[in-house]
Amino acid sequence: MRLIFGVSLLLFIFIERRNRMSNIILTGERPTGPLHIGHYVGSLRNRIKLQNEGNYDEMYLFAADAQALTDNFDNPKKVRDNIFEVALDNLACGIDPNKVNYFIQSEVPELTELTFYYMNLVTVSRLHRNPTVKEEIKLRGFEESIPAGFFTYPVSQTADITAFKANIVPVGDDQLPMLEQAREIVRKFNSIYGETLIEPTALLPESENEKRLVGTDGNAKMSKSIGNCIYLKDSPEEIRKKVFAMYTDPNHVRVEDPGSVEGNVVFTYLDIFCKEDSFSKYLPEYKSLEELKEHYRRGGLGDVKIKKFLNDILQEELKPIRERREELAKNPKYVYNVLKEGTKKAREKARQTLDEVKEAMKINYFNGDEYLKELLEKTK
């Protein structure tokens, strides 16, 4: 059974389960470029909310650089440089190193060893059937020339999750097949070796639009590789240009023409970012978003006006993030130390889990003298 919760329901579950088990959150992203507002609404805002609510025992955030190398193996500098960029975005959005262990994936070698063991618990045909893997292969044009590391990403993701005993994983809906496969691997391991690993559950944004924010061009997914993103670090002018170039209703040619709200990117973004006071601040002739939509549907409301409204809202939302980011960028030593300290703590946790896994598999030969006793017993 797939377990998926919205934020409000999950916080209730946190409280109810608190006395029975630890609540451990793990999330992260590939450092292949600065983060965009798709990451922001799909994961970042949720992780900040969870961090600040404090209804958890441990929280881990990581830069998935090892995974990023699977399709950037010929450009490691890109990954290396973007670890800092992604860290700036997370810290600027409000990640608190005193509450969250922020680490670099490749600096925790226990994850690689766990991945190696888990490889035996999943078949090639099952990996082929993973919808997310198939979509990403198509997007990158790999066809049959798929790097093995990229193909087995669901297995390494399972290692990431289980190493920290995470039972809560905030994700976008495109990652649900990955998480389901992780649950399958966990169940298979436990059925063979005994109850050792924790099954994760997905935490999705409550809004359907937030689960996978469409690109500015109307593409189903905002993607760095497609170039349809608004980045958290974009300047006010860059944001304005991208908003005014947004896809709307191709049949809404003249102001007086009736327009469609459904599939209109500007209104999709307004559904997510518009707040109760947005109209009094930027468009006082309207009282609500529904009133604005109705006017657009019947005609008489131009695209320029709604784009200007959205631009004002996004500028307000992103300005404090951009300003904090600029300040953090002036202090790279602080960011470096956040990652170094978080990685140290992450290694300690992962080492503990790896020891438990090897004990369950009976491959901890030199941990104590149990193996020696077995050998001596055979000589009697």
Quick one: pLDDT at residue 33? 92
More confident: 12 or 62: 62
Residue 203 binned pLDDT confidence (cut-offs 50, 70, 90): confident
pLDDT at 75 over 50: yes
Query: Which overall architecture, per CATH, does domain 236-329 show?
Result: Orthogonal Bundle (1.10)
Please, where in the chain does CATH 1.10.240.10 lie? 236-329
> Quick one: which H or E segment has residue 333?
helix 332-361
pLDDT at 38 over 70: yes
Across residues 22-27, what is the average pLDDT?
Answer: 93
Residue 43 binned pLDDT confidence (cut-offs 50, 70, 90): confident
Residue 117 binned pLDDT confidence (cut-offs 50, 70, 90): very high
Residue 327 has a CB neighbour count (10 Å cut-off) of 12
Across residues 304-310, what is the average pLDDT?
Answer: 97
Per the prediction, the chain carries an average pLDDT of: 90
Quick one: pLDDT at residue 5? 40
pLDDT at 205 over 80: no
Quick one: pLDDT at residue 147? 83
Per DSSP (E only), the strands in 214-343 are: none
Across residues 258-264, what is the average pLDDT?
Answer: 93
Length of the chain, please?
A: 380
Please, where in the chain does CATH 3.40.50.620 lie? 4-212+331-372
Quick one: pLDDT at residue 15? 42
Q: Which of 4-13, 67-76, 198-207 has the lowest mean pLDDT?
A: 4-13
Quick one: pLDDT at residue 2? 35
Cα distances from 360 to residues 189, 312, 346, in angstroms, run 9, 57, 21
Q: Which residues pair with 202 in a beta bridge?
A: 4, 169
As given in the structure block, the two tokens for residue 116 are 């190696």
Residue 223 binned pLDDT confidence (cut-offs 50, 70, 90): confident
Q: Which fold has domain 4-212+331-372?
A: Rossmann fold (3.40.50)
- For the stretch 320-355, pLDDT in tens is 999 999 999 999 999 999 999 999 999 999 999 999
Residue 211 binned pLDDT confidence (cut-offs 50, 70, 90): low
Quick one: pLDDT at residue 21? 65
Cα distances from 369 to residues 19, 150, 351, in angstroms, run 36, 39, 20
Quick one: pLDDT at residue 150? 84
Residue 210 binned pLDDT confidence (cut-offs 50, 70, 90): low
As given in the structure block, the two tokens for residue 242 are 């991208």
Across residues 142-155, what is the average pLDDT?
Answer: 83
Residue 168 has a CB neighbour count (10 Å cut-off) of 21
HEC profile of 350-365: HHHHHHHHHHHHCCCC
pLDDT at 19 over 90: no
